[in-house]
Structure 1
């Protein structure tokens, strides 16, 4: 058997086992790929003697990742983010490069080497961070957008860095500034060409392909566009990832956006896995073990410097504190382009082999920690802000001995609306909010608001939450709301607590934690829309109000569950909390045919039968004695895994 084929087979087998094991213990798949690369690399089992053989294929994963990201960022959105990209991003790269270079010169005693080390450490990992932001559904959050803006500028900044390194090693008559100017001219030209093609040519091409209704052709065309765009920018000295991003951004304006993303996803995920494996292979294990204490120290120092630089710059741009700290925290690691710069500098003998190995160790260790840091980002930011709140709260109204029947926790737009209606009805209230500026403005406007973090029990005690009759948790942060709810129930078992949430994913957990009523934004918006539609359809208002009241009293029972689609977020962290609907048609030999529901005991699988359709008849309420027949269509409601198991059980037993 061909040795190359055997290597790939062993690598895939190891990746499958490690990804399964890591997901079992709720660790990110990226860590599994990095471990697989380290184990299979030349310093451990040496299955893969030359990692560079797989480098190009792995790089395609980054290209497809940036193409997918481009689909999410339309051109108008990109123009709107120009301040963040060229303000926050440029400031981070320049300041961090300078700071790291100054620190490095004390250790390497050479400004050229120090400058390269500074450039390498200033860059963060586009591949790891964006993948983790996508999986944790933070890509569209404000801190996610700030993070992506910095990463985009870093990808642009790689270009002059790649030009400068060869110039530092050469004795050419051409000045560095002339070379950079020429590169900028080429880059501007290729970007304009790509944007023009994406804007006026590609939508017509995909329209013709879509008319043929051939899935394979659509997939091939998508891959071709991403790779050609990446190839064009690479040809002109820019990164392939930047070209793919621009192509995706142009196609993000078209109606084929979701289909393109769905087609590219399987290829992207597999190649991204291979990319992280090759990153793990580049680690010199002996150097890593011998200098582990230095590597840990460098990772911590680099992370802290990036954290405070991004926080300071974002603060100057008037970004919220939690978003600024969050973005800085996510960018703490060295990125994949750092490996490229270190490798290039090594080839020109501008770096010593030991320094290059240390940089690779810092990069791999930082990448390995990144998924864990992003998962815990909110907790770390909350801890930092809690410390800051104690200082920021000086001079603001603090909770005193005042009591009130109604307590509003969170004085954002929803909390303020509730307060206005209570005031109009002559009902006294107190509010708590931890945004210093908002509290200052609200107090100046005559509102009864105090500064404090509602998660803290001492703050709740200070506003007499233990005596309040009605408490409203009005902020749309479900995890924080759950923490606040538990803290309240610890000191007050009798108050009615109404909790606002984004959707129904945590409704059950909130009810179990002691909420009297949970008001999910998504479902309430649906009810309001339904009430308008029914009213305009001639249904009496009394009947409409009765239906709405019934839905709320049943905790939105009939509204749970939805049919998933291509764009449904299938993040493994959310998967167990989603409620899907799925129709199962029973063929003649299905296991469930002729059996009563009570005998099937679907409740044991955490499944509900919403309805059964039999020919033209639909049975919306079915009970234990109802017997299923062949050709019935059973509508199941439950979690994705439960539905999969339920379908298999109904069909095969």
Structure 2
């Protein structure tokens, strides 16, 4: 027990150091995890003697990854992608299988071993490719959707391969057709069940959970749904990842999609890291050294076949050449299911240990290369497509790229809805986030573009495009929550103009320090509106009224801060530290400040502001340093209550 704990602790320490080091030199974290796995594996330090002990836990990372991917692909979108899934995907898998199997028969003289090798090489890495596409914001582009479509068909195709290999190994090969048909029927049945549950049960479930306003319950329910869906498909002989993808897809059209994705992201990223370390542990350094030429040769042949094939089929289907090349290059590697097929074939004695080691080396090396390839995808595709007119990047239609809304509204209460209606009337596109499930449900039913989620979470803000939005409105009157939201927005978007609504000006400075471009206090704006009506009724020209109001706003309501407290003013100790009071201090004959000029008095040390001096019933606001305080003057101070009290004693007693 202690040895296992110590091994995991050392693995975690190595992973932390390597991820930090790799990120410092601008390398993907996946490479750090693979390197950590090699170090912790049997061939180096030997901390983890059997990587298969952690395989199930690591596979949960893929399950959560596919669940979050499913959230981006609703059922209508999947139906629209069927041409890519069953056209491009099936052509890639079937033709690749045939070509690799032909090469395998020539080299291995065994049809079953050739099938195992061909199946491993024909499949690409769902985990690595989707993670890199997500990190580079390419899953919503046309090339990204083509790539995902091929990966989905590969996940489906792995099922008959897993069934066929044991049967062809002599475990009843005469029943292979029956077994495949039975697996197909089971797969269709479980997919139907999942889709029905997703349509009728899951929305009701999450609506009830969201009403409880408990983050822990929402996270637990999200994990439970993803794992139950994956377990159900696994029970019927399909991959767990496929079940999780279907569950996510069923929730992809719901108003909870961004909150769901944000909740599972920490678990997904940690488990994905563990998955990549288990992949690194499988690498045999002995095989890498002595079979390196075969590993490189196999990798080159595999990459050339898959890239050429996918690009040719995509071009034949009418896709733009840059999108075709981008999708093809992204799928050049061997995938995680390839390791499963190799392990299965080796357990039945179909593959020699030497061949298995070579294939594992090909898989690890190609997966390690993939993040670097996808990072450099634009110049690679520009070179392969011979596109001199656009050598800077890949072709994308404007509709391919996720567009940030011109305006984002955080909070869809009464104020947020009013803002939304005016923006809608002017034809200004916008989206909103709110954490009240009933309000979001009613708003969505009424046609508003509102998502359920916590706007103080960076993942949710990123999901709705806050990192690119030029205008953001924070409309809820909770200053502490607004400050949290401001900090998250400013961490990803320094240029946005952020309007923040506040009840009053008690937290004005804190909101501005957190990143607010303009704070709109309810009480002060109500005062301005009241002033405008009063002045208008008094005959003041409307132009002068508007100029005065705009001047107050530009000065951040400078002349409106502070008020004379009354008997009904909330004097709660915590609130007193946030309020700014006005206080009149009469100067009697023997007051310490009498005879001293404004310049002589060091106001900066008192944390108060001298607003005016009232003398002989005349208020003097244009104060100069030379004005001297006199007997019977009334000094008007503005500041926090404690500071005002201290300043009064100072003026009277020194």
Range of TM-score over shorter length:
0.5 to 0.7
User: Which residues of 2 match residues 214-229 of structure 1 at below 5 A?
Assistant: 214-229=214-229
Instruction: Tell me: CA distance 1:502–1:374, structure 2 relative to 1, closer, same or farther (3 Å).
Output: closer
Residue number among 461, 466, 471 corresponding to 1:568 in the alignment? 461
Q: Separation in 1 of the partners of 2:456 and 2:579?
A: 19
Structure 2: distance between partners of 1:210 and 1:608: 30
Instruction: Give the deviation of 1:255 after TM superposition.
Output: 2.0
Q: Map of 1:147-158 to 2, 5 A cutoff?
A: 147-158=147-158
**Equivalent position of 2:40 in the other structure:** 40
Deviations 1:244-299 (A, max 9, x none): 11111112122222221111111111111110110111111111122223222222
Q: Structure 2 vs 1, CA of residues 609 and 264 (structure 1 numbering), >3 Å: closer, same or farther?
A: closer
TM-fit CA distance, 1:241: 0.7
Whole-angstrom distance in 2 between the partners of 1:108 and 1:622? 82
2:90 maps to 90
Asked if 1 retains the 8 angstrom alpha-carbon contact of 2:140 and 2:401, the reply is no
Tell me the TM-score normalised to structure 2 length.
0.66
Alignment partners' CA distance in 2, 1:9 and 1:622: 56
Computed over aligned residues only, the root mean square deviation of the Cα atoms, in angstroms, reads: 4.0
Relative to 1, partners in 2 of residues 1:615 and 1:34: Cα closer, same or farther, differing over 3 Å? same
Matched residue, 1:285: 285
Post-superposition CA distance 1:147-191 (Å, at most 9, x none)? 000000000000000000100112527421111111111111111
Tell me the CA shift for residue 521 of structure 1: 8.8
- Alignment length (residue pairs): 477
Change (3 A) 1:310 1:531: same
Q: Which residue of 2 aligns with 1:175?
A: 175
Give the deviation of 1:525 after TM superposition. 13
Structure 1 residue 576, shift from structure 2 partner:
6.7
Distance 2:153 2:21 in 1: 36
Offset at residue 568 of structure 1 (A): 3.1
Q: Aligned runs of 1:499-538 on 2, under 5 Å? A: 533=425
Other-structure match for 1:352: 352
Alignment of 1:48-63 (within 5 A): 48-63=48-63
Deviation at 1:363, TM superposition (A): 0.4
- Separation in structure 2 between the aligned mates of residue 578 and residue 115 of structure 1, nearest angstrom: 54
- Which residue is 1:139 aligned to? 139
Deviation at 1:104, TM superposition (A): 2.5
Aligned to 2:517: 610
Q: In 2, distance between residues paired with 1:609 and 1:205?
A: 37
The one of 439, 453, 460 equivalent to 2:389 is: 453
Paired residues of 1:40 and 1:281 also in contact (CA < 8 A): yes
Counterparts of residues 370-409 of structure 1 (less than 5 Å): 370-386=370-386
> Matches of residues 111-126 of structure 1 in structure 2 within 5 Å?
111-126=111-126
Give the secondary structure class of the aligned counterpart of 1:342: helix
Map of 2:601 onto structure 1: none
> Aligned equivalents of 2:5 and 2:515: distance in 1?
47
- The equivalent of 1:184 in structure 2 is 184
Deviations 1:181-240 (Å, cap 9, x if unpaired)?
111111111111111111111211222222222221121111111111111111111111
Partner of 1:296 in structure 2?
Answer: 296
Q: Deviations over 1:613-648 (max 9, x none)?
A: 67845875469x99x997499xxxxxxxxxxxxxxx
Is the Cα–Cα contact under 8 Å of residues 500 and 516 in structure 2 kept in the other structure? no
8 Å contact 1:346–1:352 — kept in the other structure? Answer: yes
Normalising by structure 1, report the TM-score. Answer: 0.66
Q: In structure 1, what is the Cα distance between the partners aligned to 2:426 and 2:246?
A: 45
Alpha-carbon offset, residue 454 of structure 1: 6.0
Per the alignment, residue 27 of structure 2 pairs with 27
Cα distance 1:383–1:563, how it changes in 2: closer, same or farther (>3 A)? farther
2-structure distance, mates of 1:172, 1:379: 50
SS at 2:319's partner residue?
coil
Q: Indicate the residue corresponding to 1:206 in structure 2.
A: 206
| Residue-by-residue CA offset, 1:322-358 (whole Å, 9 max, x unaligned) | 1111000000000000000000000000111111111
1:174/1:102 CA distance change after superposition, 3 Å: closer
Q: Conserved in 1, the CA contact under 8 Å of 2:125 and 2:333? A: yes
Pair 273,611 (structure 1): closer, same or farther in 2 beyond 3 Å: same
Task: Measure the CA separation in 2 of the matches of 1:577 and 1:114.
Answer: 53
In our comparison, the structure showing a higher alpha carbon Rg is 2
TM-superposed deviation, 1:563? 8.8
Could you list the runs of 5+ residues in structure 2 that have no partner in the other structure? 410-420, 429-454, 469-490, 526-551, 563-576, 581-654
Distance 1:563 1:321, change over 3 A: farther
Contact 2:167/2:173 (8 A) holds in 1: no
| Contact 2:342–2:359, Cα closer than 8 Å, also in 1 | yes
2:538 equivalent in structure 1: none
Partner of 1:79: 79
Question: Does the 8 A contact of 2:501 with 2:521 survive in 1?
Answer: no
Work out the CA distance in 1 between the residues paired with 2:182 and 2:213: 44
C-alpha spacing 1:370/1:531, structure 2 compared with 1 (3 Å) = same
Q: Distance in 2 between matches of 1:521 and 1:258?
A: 15
- 1:567 Cα offset (Å): 2.8
Q: Which shows bigger deviation, 188-197 or 136-145?
A: 188-197
Mark the runs of 5 or more structure 1 residues left unpaired by the alignment. 390-451, 457-474, 479-500, 504-519, 537-561, 634-653
Q: In 1, distance between residues paired with 2:355 and 2:320?
A: 38
Shift of 1:118: 0.6
Q: CA deviation digits over 1:556-603, x for unaligned, max 9?
A: xxxxxx9985433389x9977764559799xx9x9x99xxx9xxxx9x
CA contact (8 A) 1:226 1:244 kept: yes
- State the alpha-carbon separation in 2 of the partners of residues 583 and 40 from structure 1: 50
